[in-house]
Structures are given as structure tokens and as C-alpha cells.
Amino acid sequence: MAAETGADRPRKKIQRKRLPVAPYFVALLVVLAVLWVSALGGAGWKFPTPKLGLDLQGGLSMTLTAYQQGSDEPPTAETMEQARQIIEGRVNSTGVSEPEVYVEGTENIVVNVAGDDIDETALRDVGAPAELRFRIVTNSVADTSALEESLAEETPTDEATETPTAESGETPTEESSETPTEETTSEDTSGSGQAESTDDADVTLDDVWAKVGPDAAAAAQALTAAPADEATMALLEPFGELTPEEVSLLPANVQFFVPQITCEQLDNRPPGAVQQADIEVVACSAPEPATTDDPSLTFSYKYLLQPATVLGSDVTSADVGTDQANLNQFVVNVQFSSEGADKWSALTTEGLGSQVAIVLDNEVVSAPTIQEVSSNSTQISGEFTATEANQLADQLNFGSLPTTFVVETVNEVTATLGVDQLEAGLIAMIAGLILVFLYCMVYYRLMGFVVLGSLIVATVGLYPTVALLGSQMGLTLTLAGIAGFVVSIGITADSFVVYFERIKEEMAGGRSARSAVPRAWVRARRTILSAAAVSMLSAVVLYILAIGPVRAFAFALGLSTVVDVLVVYLFTHPIAEWLSRGNLLNKTNLSGLHTKTTPATGDAAAKG
């Protein structure tokens, strides 16, 4: 029997391993389901909507102006940039999303935040100097001028005016001194005082003495205690007419011992009036109720304070806790650096049994009595709300501003122009999608529907992602972000073009669609991933280096790139693989995948 030759042996039919497309579609559906369920949950099980930025929904715009007492020179660019970074950190810590914080000119910082529920008081406080000082109290007295004025307006002849004064005339104890805790920024209460300070920028101490008169000036400088006789009181009346700017120029003993200088004047002094650490200063506590019956009747304590030896720069961290004696009362726990711990130990040793005033900017936050010597930490206590305690802790953690600022303007921003531009942006996006689809229909014919389906899937994935990030992480959708999504349409379409052109090249070599699609995918995916990596790298670098709207553009571009890769892997390639198993893609008049030769069939296809 003749031996079999190679030509006589039966050939084994080559079976190509098919890509199981079902798991890809299942994975895509799972991803989309998770995104939509999460977005719905984040929106309270309502249809999720992205969080819009300042230009699309309006909000508040605040301008802070640098104030340097006694200097006509503007702050340096480095100082302004350092202040901008601190203010931006403070704004972010309040929960405001995607704020715009930038330097305008040589002495202005603009803060833009979006939303109709912005706390204006909290926004103003981000520009507070946050100069923390620990000063031993030399003397204290109750300032009842505001209380007496309120009582005089209600009942001018009421004898009860003496009752609160008597109650408040005592030196504040640890419990009473810790009561004033609510921070009040000079911008909130200064009003005319701040406005007048601009006109009085060139006023000197000699001008102030001349304004009150030589007799009043001499009497005030000689005081070592509050005057008791009516003649001296009458002589000191001109001090009650001084502006906060003028009061800030007076010596500390005059500010303290002259009764006509009220806490209202002291609180409205220019920012940084008590900033100098190595001199005596005068500061007031926040108003506290004089009686339990009428909380609108308040008074404050005026403190004469020694030079500060422990500063905010000695604090390493601050966090919010609750008072052990009163769990409903919030406190701020402060940890000192090693050098600060030595300073604090020396201060508590020196002032044991005395009060120590914790001064933040122009205000005495609390003034507890030093009960024991300590070194590593202390506690700022009082009637803080949770918001106020967290705000103070944030201010201490981010540090004090390198220069002081006043709130120049706070304006409400409307979204009228932004809405018009949003409509224009959406029209541009829809037009871009339509043009991409029409181009693919002309060039790739029925494969254009694959492109359309891919773009729809990308949109279905992007929308809940943006909405979810808005509800959970505060991501805001701005006009710049919409521009990033519009640009990403071209990047997404480019991935399809690369893939389809690879298929055409394979089919032009005589392969069938069944053989060309997996081979084209191996070559195309490297190009797609390389292009996506370049786009992502550009977006990351741009996001890190840029600020404001440019960062929103970069984020949108990066997010779209990630979604593009996801769609190409989980939808475009699997559906092309599924279509290649039929004869549709081999019909070049329908698929648009033109070939130079007739697609191989039968054994030729097996060889391919």
C-alpha cells in the first residue's frame, strides 16, 4: 500500500478563536447601571442634574483689598500669591466647590463662588487675617455703652440701666470670659468706620491730640485708672467722637482707661490694629447678653493686654472637639510646635492664676484663667457653633495671611449671560455630534451607526458621572468645562477613525471582515491608548498648573478621555467584532470598508 503524501493528507480546518462579546456588553451595562444608580442616590432619588458653576447659575463675587497701615507701597507679588493660596484653601474648606480665587491688579484678590445658598458671612471671613495672639490680661472692664444706648432708646428714664452695669462691672471670671466666642469680622460691623478710614489715611497721632484738645489729651495720658469725677469725664467727651482709624493711633492705656472710647470704636479699627506682638494693646470680647430675659441687651469686656509671646505661628495643628464639662459646647484644640510649647510653658508659668486672652485679629475670643502650667497644647473654648469652630480651626491650620485685607465689595452675580452661553455651548455640542455622525455616514456608511451608538453610550456614561461628582465632590460644570466636552467629541471620533482605518487596511490586503477586525484591533488599540495617554497627560498638567476656568476645561478633557477608552473597549470593538461574524462588513457598498480585492472566502478565508 502506497504511503500517503503530504498532498493526500486531509487538511485541518483552522478555527479562529472568537471574541466572546457578551461579557463586554454585560460589563458596560453594569458600569452604566452603577453610575446611574449612584447619581440617582446622590440626587435624593430624583433625576440627577450637574452642579453648575458661577457663570451658569450665578453666585457671589467678593473683592478683597490689601490694607497696609502706615505704608503707601502695595504688597509684593509674592505676598499676594501667598495670600491667594491661603484664601483659596479657606474657601475650599468651607465646602464651596470649584471657587475662582485670583489676584487682580497689585492689591486685590477676587473670590467667586457659585450657588444661591452661599453664606455671605462665612465668605467674608475667609479674608480675615487670622492673626492669633496669646496675651496675659493686665486689666479688664465692662463696656456697657451699647447696653445703655439700647436701654435709653427703649426707656430713657428707666432706673434699670444701673442693674446690668452693676452685674457687668466685675472682672470676668474664667466662665464669663469664655462666653464671647462668636467671631465678628470688621467688615460686617465697621460700616462707616471703614469708609472713614480711607479719608483718614494720612492722619497722625498729633492730629488726634489736636482734635480732642490739649486739656483732654493731657488728662487722658495721665490716667492710670478709670476717672471717677464728673469734671474729668466731661473733659474726655471728645474721645467719643473719634473714628476707629483715629482711635487705633492712640496709646494702649488711653484706649483702655478713657470710658468714652467704646468697644464699637475698637472693634472697627483697621485690620491689623493689634497685630504688633511686642506692644501692649487693647481689644474687646464679642457682645454677650446682659440679662437672660432680653438677649438683645448686650455688653462687652474691654481688655488691656500685655505683649504677646505666643503667636499663631507657634501652632502646628488645630481641630474641633467638645467641652468635657458640656458636650453641647464646641471647642478648638490647639497643638504647639516644640518651640511654641516652650513659649506656652513660660507664659502659663508667668501668668499662673491670671487670665490669658486668646486674641484673633481684633477680637478677644476667650480669656480663661490659667489654672496650671502646660506646654504642648491648649483649648480655645466658648459658645462656638459647629460652623464657627470649624472655621476657626481651618483659619489656624491654613495660617494667617501675610497682609491684612478689607472687603471692598460683595456682589451678587446673575447667570443671564451664562445661560445664553450655555445654550450656545449645547447647540455647538449637538452640532458637533451631528457633523461627526454625518461624516462617518458618508465615509463609513452603515458603520456610521456604530459611531453614533458609541457617542450615545459615551454621553450616557458622562452625564451621570458629572452629576455624581457634583453631588459628592462638589464638581461644578462651567462654560469652560462644556468647551472641554465639545473638544472631546473630536478626540472620541478620532479613536473610531483609527480603528476603522486599520480594518480597511486589513481588508484591502484581501482579508475578510471576520479576519480583519481582530487583527486591526491589535494594531489600533496601541495607537488609541497612546493618543489617550497623551491627552490625559496634557489634561493633568494643565489642571495642576492652571487656575479657574482653565482647570475646568482640563478636568472635562481628562474625564472625556477616560470615558472614550472605556467606550472603545466595551462597546465599539465588541460590536465591530459581532458585526464581522456576518456578511454585512464584507459588503463594502454598505459598510464603507472598501477593499482593493474581493474578500477571501472559503478556504482562502481560513488561510487568512
Tell me if 450 sits within 8 A of 576, measured CB to CB.
yes
Q: Give the pLDDT of residue 130.
A: 72
Spatial CA neighbour of 418 closest among 488, 503, 477, 356: 477
Report the residue count for the chain. Answer: 608
Cα 328–334–336 angle (5° rounding)?
A: 165
Average pLDDT over residues 540-559: 83
Q: Please list, residue by residue across 172-203, b when 16 or more beta carbons sit within 10 angstroms of its beta carbon and e when fewer do.
A: beeebbbbbbebbbbbeebeebbebbeebeeb
Lowest mean pLDDT among 33-42, 187-196, 436-445, 508-517: 187-196
Note whether residue 465 is domain-resident. yes
Is residue 524 domain-resident?
Answer: yes
**pLDDT(11) > 70:** no
230 is a domain residue: no
The DSSP bridge partners found for residue 281 are: 305
| Res 434 pLDDT > 70 | yes
Tell me the chain's radius of gyration from C-alpha atoms: 36
Query: In sequence order, which ranges of 155-250 are alpha helices (DSSP H)?
Result: 162-168, 174-177, 186-190, 192-199, 205-212, 214-221, 230-235, 244-247
**pLDDT of amino acid 281:** 94
Burial class (CB in 10 A: 0-12, 13-18, 19+), 65: middle
* Among 110, 55, 59, 120, CA closest to 88: 110
Q: What are phi and psi of 363, to 5 degrees?
A: -125, 140
- The answer for residues whose C-beta is within 8 angstroms of residue 514's C-beta and 6 or more apart is 16, 580, 581, 605
In the chain, pLDDT over 70 holds for what percent of residues? 81
In a domain, 151, yes or no: no
Say yes or no to pLDDT of 317 above 50.
yes
CA 261 to chain centre: 38
Cell output for 84: 491667594
Helix H or strand E encompassing 508: helix 479-508
Average pLDDT, the chain: 78
Q: Residue 560 maps to which CATH number?
A: 1.20.1640.10
Cell numbers of 122, please? Answer: 462665612
- Dist. CA 392–CA 88, nearest whole Å: 15
Q: pTM value? A: 0.53
Mean pLDDT lowest for which of 158-172, 239-253, 464-478? 158-172
Provide the Cα torsion 400, 406, 408, 414; round to 10°: 40
Q: Does residue 50 lie within any of the structural domains? A: no
Distance CA 480, CA 551 (A): 8
Nearest in space to 194 (alpha carbons), one of 473, 422, 412, 405:
405
Please state, in angstroms and rounded to a whole number, the distance separating the CA atoms of residues 429 and 450: 19
> Which residues are within 8 A (CB) of 605 and not within 5 positions of it... i.e. 6 or more apart?
512, 514, 515, 599
Mean pLDDT of 393-411: 79
> What pLDDT score does 196 carry?
38
For residue 290, give the DSSP letter.
S
- Does residue 526 lie within any of the structural domains? yes
Of 401 and 358, the one with more pLDDT: 358
Are 503 and 590 contacting, i.e. CB atoms less than 8 angstroms apart? Answer: no
> Which amino acid, 567?
V
pLDDT at res. 424: 78
pLDDT by residue (tens digit) across 231-251?
999 999 999 999 999 999 999
Are 131 and 360 within 8 A, CB to CB? yes
Position 176 scores a pLDDT of: 35
User: With bands split at pLDDT 50, 70 and 90, how would you rate the model's confidence at 193?
Assistant: very low
Q: What are the residues whose beta carbons fall under 8 Å from the beta carbon of 471, sequence distance 6 or more?
A: 39, 42, 43, 48, 51
Q: One-letter amino acid identity for 502? A: R
Provide CB contacts within 8 A for 67, sequence distance 6+.
270, 271, 272, 403, 404, 405, 406
From residue 467, how far is each of 30, 79, 93, 460 by CA, in Å? Answer: 18, 37, 21, 12
127 or 332, which is more confident?
Answer: 332
Whether residue 332 is contained in a domain is answered as no
Instruction: Give the least confident one: 116-120, 345-349, 383-387, 586-590.
Output: 586-590
Question: Measured between alpha carbons, how far is 270 from 362 in angstroms, rounded to an integer?
Answer: 9
Full domain range(s) for residue 41: 22-45+415-607
Do 479 and 545 contact (CB within 8 A), yes or no? no
- Give pLDDT tens digits for 72-104: 678 888 888 888 888 888 887 776 666 778 888
- Distance set, CA 434 to CA 224, 431, 554, 572 (Å): 84, 5, 24, 18
From the number of C-beta atoms within 10 Å of its C-beta (0-12, 13-18, 19+), residue 144 rates as buried
Identify whether 37 is part of a domain. Answer: yes
The better pLDDT of the pair 415, 396 is held by: 396
Q: With 80 as the cut, is the pLDDT of residue 560 above it?
A: yes
Task: Output the CA–CA distances (angstroms, integers) from residue 91 to 189, 389, 548, in the order listed.
Answer: 21, 15, 14
Number of domains in the chain: 1
Among 590, 599, 133, 597, CA closest to 380? 133
The segment with the largest mean pLDDT, out of 64-78, 415-429, 563-577, is: 563-577
- Lowest-pLDDT choice from 271-280, 342-351, 356-365, 411-420: 411-420
Q: Which pLDDT belongs to residue 591?
A: 63
Of residues 148 and 212, more confidence is placed in: 212
With vertex at residue 13, the alpha carbon angle to CA 9 and CA 19, rounded to the nearest 5 degrees, is 160
